[in-house]
Structure 1
Amino acid sequence: MLKALIIDDELKASDVLRLMLERYVPEIGQVLVCNDAREATTTIQQFRPDILFLDIRMPYFNGFDVLSRMQHRPFQVIFTTAYNEYTIQAIRFSAFDYLLKPIDAQDLVNAVQRYTHRQGELAYQPEQLKNIIKNMQADDPGQFRLAVPAREGIHFFLPSEIIRCEALGGYTKFFTTLNKQYLTSKNLGEYEELLTPYGFLRTHKSHLVNRTQISFIDHEGFLVLKDGTAVEVSRRKKAEIIQQLG
């Protein structure tokens, strides 16, 4: 059975989340609540949770401060936050999970289920934390660095450093301006949602392309990139892509 710790200064919000965990998530056998961020470090060390539900905005210490004070973090972090597009993008770019307040029961169940598939990524959390803090301090979302977990570790890229992404089954291969390729276990749809606001085009079910890397469209309807790669454009996407490229 899993142990969950909720750190949130809002009594009502923490009580609601505790009740939802007890009702909808049978995998969690113990739930503890901490409403004072000043006690968070001690509580984490004593309770040793598997999953930490962590509010971002709190008096005395914010959620990032709490994590920064922990040298070892052998638990999965799920941020809980009210809607703020900038904050959520910074979280998602850093590959952390999050739940929007008021928390939806199905979203909560899905987040806990994802925990079982991400235990191998716990070692990445120190670098993810550094990245999210940098993202939050960026003046422009275009300076957010995208966390890409791969077999050999976790890599961080500016959107401008990504040439294209290619779907390989349920995996995604990244092609970068650093002349290197990286394979991650996340599917292309997740990265399409993240990168579309930064000038990326889904040209085909298997291809997501940085429009700044497009050189021209050849006579056969392929996108030719600056590195010479020809990328397929699906029939149903062709008119839309041509229109977007002007």
Structure 2
Amino acid sequence: MKAILVDDEMDGLRTLQRLLEKHCPQVQVAGTATSAAMAKERINGVQPDLVFLDIQMPGKSGLDLLSDLNSHSFEVIFVTAFNDYVLQALQFSAVDYLLKPVDEDRLIEAVQRAEKRLQEEKKGAQSDTLLHNLEKAGTPADMRLCLPTLKGFMIVKLSEIIYGEADRSYTVFHIEGGKTVLVSKALIEYEELLRGTSFLRVHKSFLINLQHVREYQRGEGGTVIMSNKAEIEISRRKKEAFLDEVRRVFKY
């Protein structure tokens, strides 16, 4: 894989190049850049398979660079110190990112995933999803979630997801229009990822979107009727958290 490394700090470029030479021999560094303008020139000239892209740079950021490019016919592995809303957008979009200082094991795993996507010719869609999510940062309902499936991935709006249901180490998402998607991640991972949005874990087996709740029926824990008419039991120990969240979201 031909790669371009983009980082405004020379030390960062040298460190990443050394790690790639040592741990990822399948990656050939075909060029480096210390600014978005230089990176655009390198990318257009080299036509790389893979770009390691620093997000925070003086002037135009790495994300500005992606917006400027006509097409994303390459895989991107983002490199960042941290930024809460950017991190959320990265996670929702299921793109690979490395936190500085770069951990060699995470680097190896990210390169292997990029290599697999290149072989499957699934390029660019996740980067496009990320750019959309960054535009919608602060309004999670308008953001998109990239769901890894057994065959690849599916991109859906958060607002379209009615609920997620645990299926051993997998999750089944129930989506508007009667669609279901089997996702190769456990429900607890989505509970963490979607924390702070309109999603709430109401049972060990269910993560619901409060925006799709149509009715609540009292009981030991109670039952909710969702927009697709599914009846979901609320566990007794989750009842108060559910009612508190309903009051917060709907000013009940």
Normalised-by-shorter TM-score class: 0.7 to 0.9
Match of 1:231 in 2: 232
Residues 75, 122 of structure 1: 8 Å contact kept: no
3-state SS of the aligned residue for 2:69?
A: coil
Q: How far, CA to CA, are the matches of 1:8 and 1:56 in structure 2?
A: 8
Match of 1:135 in 2: 133
Q: How far, CA to CA, are the matches of 2:67 and 2:225 in structure 1?
A: 41
Q: Does the alignment pair 1:22 with 2:32?
A: no
Residues 76, 122 of structure 1: 8 Å contact kept: no
Deviation of 1:83 after TM superposition, in Å, equals 0.9
TM-score normalised to structure 2 length: 0.76
Against the structure 1 CA distance between its residues 161 and 72, is the aligned structure 2 distance closer, same or farther, given a 3 Å change threshold?
A: closer
Q: How far, CA to CA, are the matches of 2:179 and 2:123 in structure 1?
A: 20
Match of 1:155 in 2: 155
Residues 38, 60 of structure 1: 8 Å contact kept: no
Against the structure 1 CA distance between its residues 103 and 153, is the aligned structure 2 distance closer, same or farther, given a 3 Å change threshold?
A: closer
3-state SS of the aligned residue for 1:87?
A: helix
Against the structure 1 CA distance between its residues 187 and 138, is the aligned structure 2 distance closer, same or farther, given a 3 Å change threshold?
A: same
Deviation of 1:63 after TM superposition, in Å, equals 1.5
Match of 1:85 in 2: 84
- Aligned Cα root-mean-square deviation (Å): 3.2
Q: How far, CA to CA, are the matches of 1:171 and 1:119 in structure 2?
A: 25
Match of 1:102 in 2: 101
Match of 1:10 in 2: 9
Q: Does the alignment pair 1:240 with 2:237?
A: yes
Match of 1:146 in 2: 145
TM-score normalised to structure 1 length: 0.78
Q: How far, CA to CA, are the matches of 2:23 and 2:201 in structure 1?
A: 36
Q: How far, CA to CA, are the matches of 1:11 and 1:189 in structure 2?
A: 39
Against the structure 1 CA distance between its residues 121 and 168, is the aligned structure 2 distance closer, same or farther, given a 3 Å change threshold?
A: farther
1:157 alignment partner AA = K
2:132 alignment partner AA = K
Against the structure 1 CA distance between its residues 132 and 13, is the aligned structure 2 distance closer, same or farther, given a 3 Å change threshold?
A: same
Residues 80, 100 of structure 1: 8 Å contact kept: yes
2:145 alignment partner AA = L
Deviation of 1:72 after TM superposition, in Å, equals 3.8
Q: How far, CA to CA, are the matches of 2:59 and 2:148 in structure 1?
A: 32
3-state SS of the aligned residue for 1:243?
A: helix
Structure 2: 5+ residue stretches without partners: 244-252
Q: How far, CA to CA, are the matches of 1:190 and 1:120 in structure 2?
A: 27
Deviation of 1:210 after TM superposition, in Å, equals 1.8
Q: How far, CA to CA, are the matches of 1:153 and 1:87 in structure 2?
A: 21
Q: How far, CA to CA, are the matches of 2:221 and 2:120 in structure 1?
A: 40
Q: How far, CA to CA, are the matches of 1:139 and 1:110 in structure 2?
A: 27
3-state SS of the aligned residue for 2:196?
A: helix
2:97 alignment partner AA = Y
Structure 1: 5+ residue stretches without partners: none
Identical amino acids, percent of aligned pairs: 37
**Deviation digits for residues 17-37 of structure 1 (CA, Å, limit 9, x no counterpart):** 111222233333446322232
**Deviation digits for residues 141-183 of structure 1 (CA, Å, limit 9, x no counterpart):** 423232346669743303x332102344665432234443344
Match of 2:197 in 1: 198
Against the structure 1 CA distance between its residues 196 and 34, is the aligned structure 2 distance closer, same or farther, given a 3 Å change threshold?
A: same
Residues 147, 155 of structure 1: 8 Å contact kept: yes
Deviation of 1:217 after TM superposition, in Å, equals 5.5
3-state SS of the aligned residue for 1:118?
A: helix
Residues 30, 46 of structure 2: 8 Å contact kept: no
Number of residues paired by the alignment?
Answer: 239
